[in-house]
């Protein structure tokens, strides 16, 4: 099992959300900045289909998990991707 699954932040999270988080973290392992937008969008779409919304704190936590083990350049790309997705969602 992954070390991140033992984080205290996960103790209070809904099990359905946790499964979605596990899926996205698994899919992003070893991926680069250009591969991340479709993965993040698939997480959002899967959550929407289940009528689930992630809180700002949960999204920040997911982004931190995605940045673990990545170079500072890749972390910057992840942040840029997150901002792009957030601005897209706000327009809806």
pLDDT at 89: 63
CA distance 75 to 69: 9
| pLDDT at res. 1 | 43
Judged against a pLDDT cut of 70, whether residue 27 lies above it is answered with yes
13-18 average pLDDT score: 90
What pLDDT is attached to residue 90?
64
User: What's the CA gap between 65 and 50, in Å, rounded?
Assistant: 22
pLDDT given for residue 38 in this prediction: 81
Average pLDDT for 25-41: 79
pLDDT of res. 82: 76
Answer for the pair 69, 28: CB distance below 8 angstroms, yes or no. no
Spatial CA neighbour of 27 closest among 36, 17, 15: 36
Long-range contacts of 73-76 (CB under 8 A, 24+ apart): 74/32, 74/33
Residue 92 has pLDDT above 60, yes or no: no
């Amino acid at each position: 099992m992954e070390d991140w699954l033992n984080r205290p932040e996960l103790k209070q999270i809904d099990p359905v959300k946790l499964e979605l988080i596990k899926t996205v973290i698994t899919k992003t392992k070893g991926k680069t900045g250009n591969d991340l937008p479709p993965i993040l969008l698939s997480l959002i779409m899967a959550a929407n289909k289940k009528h689930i919304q992630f809180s700002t704190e949960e999204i920040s936590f997911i982004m931190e998990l995605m940045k673990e083990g990545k170079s500072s350049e890749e972390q910057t790309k992840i942040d840029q991707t997150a901002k792009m997705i957030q601005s897209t969602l706000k327009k809806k």
